[in-house]
Amino acid sequence: MSSKQPQIMLAHDENGAPVLILREEEKRKRLSGAEALSSHIGIATSVAGTVSTSLGPKGRDKLIIDSSGGLTITNDGATIMTKMDSPSQIGKLITSLSKCQDFEIGDGTTGVVVLAGALLEHALKLSKSGIHPIRIADGFETALKIATKTLEESSEKFMIDNREKLIEVAMTTLGSKIINKNLRQMAEIAVDAVLSVADLERRDVDFELIKIRKKAGGKIEDTRLIKGLVLDTDFTHSQMAKEVKDAKIAILNVPLEPPKPEIGYKLIVDSVEKYESLYTTEQAFFTEMVDKIKASGATFVVCQWGFDDEANHLLYQAGIPAVRWALADEIEGLAIATGGSIISRFDDLSPSTLGNAKLVREETLGTQTDRIVTIEGCENEKIVTVFIRGSNEIMLDEAERALHDAMCVVRNLIRDPSIVFGGGAAELCASLAIEQSMEDVSTVEQRALRAFAEALDVIPISLARNSGLDPIKTLADLKAKQKLTKDSAIGVDCMERGTTDMRSQLVFETLSSKVQQFQLATQVTRMILKIDTSIDFTDKEEQGF
């Protein structure tokens, strides 16, 4: 029976970092023992090496081309992992690790993959030296407990009622993103969006109340936060009033068109009298619709369906601006924001079903044909919209990902206002704590603990390498300084500001994010270490089934 490993090729970039090249796998029938472990860890560390160059404020972006030719430029770990589409099941497991970090925390998606790759690489070395994988896994679990306890003890409480401090944390998150040219502006948008919808008493943030709208054109600095909703459309008539104050909004899920019969029919109009009769009937139908809208007290209409030109003209004559072909999620969001009801029959229209907003306005964005409708001062003040502008769709997508990460960090601080210091400071602190605790454990566990500590050092090493610093010298200096001063804020000076004190550089990370990274990376490592046999049943004919 064949036992060939999958063909994996490793190249290296100019900094010596590994780059993954996966060829089409040969049919692998059965791998067991050390062979299976080596194969799995080889794939995982290759994937981790691919994203390690994107770590930190000076990490580089990846240009990803999908099967349809679409382009994505990003340094977001979760996006890179998702777009890679690894053919290996272990590669997919590492991808799910990054997705889990993104779903639970929203930040640290690159770091968790790099750490998992480092843990697996050190685990493989221990395995080759004769230590059983289960003993390695147990040793890693012990080291994780020490690291987690150290992080909690070295963490500091954060004052979430200090908006300026929240902006500083958001700026740390956005420092490595493509939109860092407008760092302060984007950080303010992220913080204000979260604070607008946060329930500080319950320490909860509902992201469903933060709407994201993107529109190509303009500059990234045109991005803004709107305390309300944005409809990517314009008013149905060019001469309608462009602004409605104290608007009473009718939200319609019924078209302003004549009813269409369900069966085929043929209508012959062969005289002036028949034409006038048809016109009068149709006019009466539209007049009745508009009269019901006027009778309800509505001063603005949003419809999910289309308008007949005659109905549109009657609305204009009645002085009621309107929007048609609104999206389903816009209709639902509008109902929640304004307190109105979605109407499916005109007979149900009444003053009690109308939504309320202080201002409805049609805005022109650069050209006469590029317009949006903003609805501000809604009855539900907790609904806001982040309106993102950019030169193209790639920029818009990356700006959305960056703002999402920043908002997640602010949300995490509201949930648990504890911080640790970035720049690899937290990993260095945990690594030193693990090294100091090795005297109290057995010889075999000592080696596993040391491997865990060395794996944690990969984070500051990668940060230093990506920042153009000497990684080995930087690591040695930082560990010596942190050990001497007992200061957990000593980290990599990625931006070369002349100090390694992350506290003065305002480089923070949430405690929940860092603990989650350590836990997820350790869990996936333990999972892979416990695999002793890999069986491929994809080719049953060759297997003899």
Yes or no: say if 168 and 387 are a contact pair by the CB < 8 Å rule.
no
Yes or no: say if 126 and 136 are a contact pair by the CB < 8 Å rule.
yes
- Among 110, 172, 173, 374, the active-site one is 110
Active site residue 536: no
- The first and second tokens of residue 237, run together, are 């008539």
DSSP label at residue 60: P
In angstroms, the Cα distances linking 82 to 85, 287, 426 are: 6, 54, 27
Strand, helix or coil for residue 423: coil
- Among 109, 172, 374, 385, the active-site one is 109
For residue 492, the number of C-alpha atoms closer than 13 Å in the C-beta half-sphere is 31
d(CA 190, CA 167): 8
Active site residue 79: no
d(CA 250, CA 425): 55
Yes or no: say if 72 and 66 are a contact pair by the CB < 8 Å rule.
yes
Active site residue 405: yes
d(CA 61, CA 70): 16
Active site residue 109: yes
- Among 397, 405, 493, 501, the active-site one is 405
Strand, helix or coil for residue 473: helix
Strand, helix or coil for residue 114: helix
Bridge partners, 387 (sequence order)? 213, 224
Strand, helix or coil for residue 141: helix
- Among 45, 74, 76, 353, the active-site one is 76
Provide the annotated active-site residues: 76, 109-110, 405
